[in-house]
Amino acid sequence: MISKSISNSVSNFTYHSDPVRIVFGAGSVAALREEANRHKISRLMMLCSPSRADLARQLIAPITERCVGFCETAGQDMPREAFERILSEIKRLNPDGFIVFGGGSPIGLAKATAAATGLPYIAIVTTYSGSEMAARWYIGAAGNRVNGESAAALPATAIYDPELTLDLPPAISAASGMNAMAHAVESLYGIDTNPVVQSMAEEAVRRLGASLLCVVRNPRDLAARSDVLYAAWLAGNFRAKVGLEHAIAQRVRQWFKTDHARSHAVATPYAVGFNASAAPEAMARIARALGVKDAARGLYDLNVRLGLPTGLKDLGLKESDIAKAVDVVAAVKITHPRPVTKSDLLDVISQAFAGAPPRF
């Protein structure tokens, strides 16, 4: 009887884990030489944004004899000119691998570069975007966007050292953390979800809900930073097929130049509210993890407590842009437990524009 009970408690599922080696913990950037050895990187190029170049040079110091050059370029939406500059530097320097240091923008460029060149790379992660764990890559935005999906885009190793996040400003930390939250909640009710993912995602929601507030209050709280970085990795471990939240946030920020992470923070409560009736188990997990009664309202209230904008109007979207936003989001294939009509999109985006508590 016990065996029968256990076998009936979990339904059939498929789970795929991408081959990224994870090195996590305070001081873990010291493993850089060991990881370069592991992946046989003897001539490396350093990729980072211009604002992080000085720190990148400090980090590379222990293996500076292997560094054949730096490429300091980045930019929201991974601009084509930045990508082409990286490819030009790779052709000039002839490295056998590279290191990327930073958040979602430089890591996004690194993914496209790896997919194009086949070079192995090590990602030193400094924000909570989770981009390093997604095989999907793209260059450019809106109508000029080029994208793909390939395991070759993933880093050979991702290093998560929470000490490198201590100087991330509270407002950026909050928005980046809610970007991670978006990955976690959509993974809970995506059509390709499974029990492994659900366990990781619920834990990510729990840790983000508790520790992001601590980070905003005290950005130098290393324990809280570690918790948030770990939660971001849990949330990024699995990406559900594109759901309503990601469709809205990604298309709005590409077409209307709104801030990436804050667009996700704004969109998440409304997408969750829309899906609540079709995904009761996922809603129960989110509410339990946040210690609230209603998942969508709990996420909305968390944005407020973190001091984040709650409406797309606060990010620069105009009321006259709503119709166009509906059109560009409607062009995305949205996979969901609850079907999404164009009328639904108008309702959800209008609510997200205004920024009042979600009503569904």
CATH number where 54 lies: 3.40.50.1970
Task: Tell me the per-residue pLDDT of 255-309, one tens digit each, with 9 for 90 and over.
Answer: 999 999 999 999 999 999 999 999 999 999 999 999 999 999 999 999 999 999 9
Residues of the chain with pLDDT > 90: what percent?
Answer: 77
Q: What is the mean pLDDT of residues 225-231?
A: 97
Mark whether 177 and 312 lie in a shared domain: yes
Domain end point (choices 165, 189, 206): 165
Are 270 and 150 in a shared domain?
A: no
What pLDDT shows up at residue 134?
87
Pair (54, 144) in one structural domain:
yes
More reliable by pLDDT, 115 or 191: 115
158 and 200 in a single domain? The answer is no
How far, in Å, CA of 239 to CA of 184, rounded? 8
DSSP sequence for 265-327: HHHHHHHHHHHGGG-HHHHHHHHHHHT-S-HHHHHHHHHHHTT---SGGGGT--GGGHHHHHH
Residue 220 lies in a domain: yes
Residue 57 contacts residue 81 (beta carbons within 8 Å): no
pLDDT, tens digit, for every residue of 307-347? Answer: 999 999 999 999 999 999 999 999 998 988 899 999 999 99
* Pair (159, 186) in one structural domain: no
What pLDDT, on a 0 to 100 scale, did the predictor assign at position 190?
87
Is residue 197 located within the same domain as residue 332? yes
Place of tokens 């400090």: 58
Q: Which range, of 70-74, 141-145, 206-210, 276-280, averages the lowest pLDDT?
A: 141-145
Whether residue 265 is contained in a domain is answered as yes
Whether residue 138 has pLDDT greater than 50: yes
Q: pLDDT at residue 146 above 90?
A: no
Q: State mean pLDDT over 147-167.
A: 93
| 22 C-beta neighbours (distance < 10 Å), count | 15
Query: Which SS3 state, helix, strand or coil, does residue 188 take?
Result: helix
58 is a domain residue = yes
Q: Is residue 298 part of a domain?
A: yes
**Please, are residues 124 and 101 in contact by the beta-carbon 8 Å criterion?**
yes
12 belongs to a structural domain: no
DSSP state of 97: E
- Pair 286, 272: CB distance under 8 Å: yes
Parallel/antiparallel/unpaired status of strands 136-139 and 146-149: antiparallel
In this structure, the answer to whether residues 196 and 333 fall within a common structural domain is yes
- Please state, in angstroms and rounded to a whole number, the distance separating the CA atoms of residues 79 and 260: 14
What residues have CB less than 8 Å from 63, skipping those under 6 apart?
Answer: 32, 33, 36, 44
Strand (E) or helix (H) holding 209: helix 195-217
* Same domain, yes or no: 100 and 134: yes
Single out the residue in 165, 183, 214 at which a domain terminates: 165
Alpha-carbon span 304 to 6, nearest angstrom: 41
In a domain, 9, yes or no: no
- Those residues with Cβ within 8 angstroms of residue 247's Cβ, 6 or more apart along the chain or in another chain: 329, 332, 334
Q: pTM (2 decimals)?
A: 0.91
Query: What pLDDT, on a 0 to 100 scale, did the predictor assign at position 141?
Result: 65
Query: Residue 176's closest CA among 142, 211, 143, 223?
Result: 211
Is 359 inside a domain boundary? no
| Domain termination residue (choose one: 102, 134, 165) | 165
* pLDDT band per the 50, 70, 90 thresholds, residue 18: low
Does 68 share its domain with 110? yes
pLDDT digits (tens, 9 = 90+) for 200-210: 999 999 999 99
Domain that holds residue 313: 171-354
The pLDDT assigned to 143 comes to 63
Work out how many domains the chain is built from and give that number. 2
pLDDT of residue 101: 95
Judgement on whether residues 274 and 304 belong to the same structural domain of the protein? yes
Cα gap 104→74, rounded to integer Å: 10
In terms of domains, do 334 and 192 share one? Answer: yes
Q: What is the CATH number of the domain that holds 179?
A: 1.20.1090.10
Domain-embedded: residue 239: yes
Determine the average pLDDT of the residues in 186-194. Answer: 89
Do residue 160 and residue 300 come from a single domain? no
